[in-house]
Amino acid sequence: MSEALLRIQNLDKSFFGVKVLRDVGLELHRGRVLGLVGENGSGKSTTMNILGGIHQKDGGRIEFDGREIAPQNSREAQALGIAFIHQELSLFPNLSIEENLFLDHFPRVSGALPFIDRRRMRERAKAALGLVDLDISPGTPLGRLAQGERQLVEIVKALSREARLIIFDEPTTSLTARESERLFTIIERLRGQGIAIIYISHILGDVIRLCDDIVVLRDGQVVAAEPTSALHIERMITLMVGRTIDHLFPERTTKPNDDRAALSVRGLSQPGTVKDISFDLHRGEVLGISGLMGSGRSELARIVFGLDGYESGKIAIDGAELPPRSPRQAMERGLAFLTEDRRGEGLMMEASIRDNIVLPSLPEHASPFLHFIRASELGGLAQKMAEKVHIHARSLDQMAVRTLSGGNQQKVVIAKWLLRRPSIFILDEPTRGIDVGAKYEVYKIINQLVGEGAAVLFISSEIEELIGMADRIMVMSRGEVRGFHDRAHFQREALMRAALWD
């Protein structure tokens, strides 16, 4: 076996006296892909941040290309040939692709003058974009590109700096299925060129498919480092959470109620987003909506909840029509909406847990006179809801939700709706970006709600999740319904094919 490109040994790191990494070690060879998995807080990001020069190690040894390194900042790491592609991309949407690529090393007209050689920059950018099959004019403003294309630009940027190791941190969270496929092809190609890759993701299926070796971290320690062939998903999860989750999805014993539909949508159309959507959602039922980003699934959710308008069609709750464009009315009729954008739309990140939980319920707990809030009554209810969904926090009113983990933040969103005792839940990507343990808890909460007679519309881009949780799956593509699949006939390929319909 050849000499390793990267060798990490006995890495230690503490933050504020808390040890977050103990004795972490791993090895990576040229032209191989290493998967790094673990729950949030298991030390994946810290390890990578040390490698990328963002944090400094307390102890241990990092060898890169046979030399010991200790990058003090991201610039030093880049100079060594280590590129870090973050979840949130570090590109400027207001600049063009080429300007983004050459931001810190613009080709100059001559060595002495501070003028950019636009023509040379264009040529070099074009050649570089060709490496990832991105056929777009380099002068296009980055803001006009789709998420997946921006990611490719970021990769090109890394390649233009002659990166020998590229770290991908959750690269697919904001990509559509097709964009992800494209990214995987590019990663395969980079591997063929002898570039080493570290791939971090919560989507274990992708990790297994893509990686040669997998390192599992738990509580800052390496609990497994094996070739992919020796691992399967169930075992990876067991290693990650340190306990056995018998099944990925908790068992549900209750059956949907076949009476009148709780939520009934007929012929719903809005030009440019959805076309002729019809479905019924019953009490005690989980109706999954599968579709790629841009298939109209989130737009449908927003219309049903009254956030956006529609041109034609009908939405009825328990047989009575729901007026359009009024979230307040929808809420009063028992609807709850968990959005896909937790940080941007679900929570007030700077406010406390309690203030977030009580927000939708304020009008019902205001006195008739001058609308003063009955704060202690609401506080008690918030406390109860927080306990019900097991939010792990020292206190409900001292900490900003910004400081919570993704899973806990999502539980705050769930709690804020539970306080209203809704009967119909629209859940748009409820498990996005949260770790395996928290996902399992969210599934359990969903089952509990359905068991108590709630109806759940479950939107997800993870097909396994829908297969595990839904009673029926409605597949959407290009704003239209492609078909319904019953639990008895769930088939991954058929669902995928329907979603990718062209």
Task: Give the DSSP letter of residue 487.
Answer: G
Q: Are 6 and 64 in contact (CB under 8 A)?
A: yes
Pick 166 or 347: Cβ nearer another protein: 347
Q: How far is the CB of 159 from another protein (least distance, A)?
A: 35
Pick 157 or 354: Cβ nearer another protein: 354
Neighbours of 398 (CB within 10 A): 11
Q: How far is the CB of 398 from another protein (least distance, A)?
A: 7
Pick 103 or 359: Cβ nearer another protein: 359
Distance separating the N- and C-terminal Cα atoms of the chain: 46
- The dihedral built from the CA positions of residue 179, 180, 183 and 188, taken in this order, carries a sign that is negative
Pick 83 or 414: Cβ nearer another protein: 414
Which residues of the chain form contacts with another protein (CB under 8 A)? 305, 307, 327-328, 331, 337, 339, 344-352, 354-355, 359-360, 362-363, 366, 370-373, 375, 397-400, 416
Q: How far is the CB of 254 from another protein (least distance, A)?
A: 29
Pick 316 or 399: Cβ nearer another protein: 399
Pick 110 or 395: Cβ nearer another protein: 395
CA of residue 305 relative to chain centroid, distance: 22
Looking at residue 163, its amino acid is A
Task: Give the DSSP letter of residue 140.
Answer: S
Closest CA to 123 of 113, 140, 137, 110: 137
Closest CA to 34 of 239, 214, 236: 214
Pick 261 or 301: Cβ nearer another protein: 301
Pick 272 or 344: Cβ nearer another protein: 344
Q: Residue 235 contacts by C-beta under 8 Å, 6 or more apart in sequence?
A: none
Q: How far is the CB of 90 from another protein (least distance, A)?
A: 20
Q: Are 134 and 153 in contact (CB under 8 A)?
A: yes
Q: Residue 244 contacts by C-beta under 8 Å, 6 or more apart in sequence?
A: 238
Instruction: Report in angstroms the alpha-carbon separations of 167 from 45, 71, 279, 347.
Output: 10, 15, 43, 30
Pick 133 or 397: Cβ nearer another protein: 397
Closest CA to 416 of 444, 455, 388, 437: 388
What is the pairing mode between strands 263-270 and 274-281?
antiparallel
Q: How far is the CB of 375 from another protein (least distance, A)?
A: 7
Pick 230 or 362: Cβ nearer another protein: 362
Distance CA 54, CA 497 (A): 42
Q: How far is the CB of 343 from another protein (least distance, A)?
A: 9
Q: Would you say how long the chain is, in residues?
A: 502
Q: How far is the CB of 105 from another protein (least distance, A)?
A: 31
Q: How far is the CB of 233 from another protein (least distance, A)?
A: 34
Task: Give the DSSP letter of residue 57.
Answer: -
Q: How far is the CB of 354 from another protein (least distance, A)?
A: 8
Q: How far is the CB of 352 from another protein (least distance, A)?
A: 4
Pick 131 or 373: Cβ nearer another protein: 373
Q: How far is the CB of 402 from another protein (least distance, A)?
A: 9
Neighbours of 443 (CB within 10 A): 21
Instruction: Report in angstroms the alpha-carbon separations of 283 from 242, 255, 279, 478.
Output: 36, 9, 14, 28
Alpha helices in 91-243 (DSSP H): 97-101, 118-130, 147-160, 177-192, 204-210, 233-241
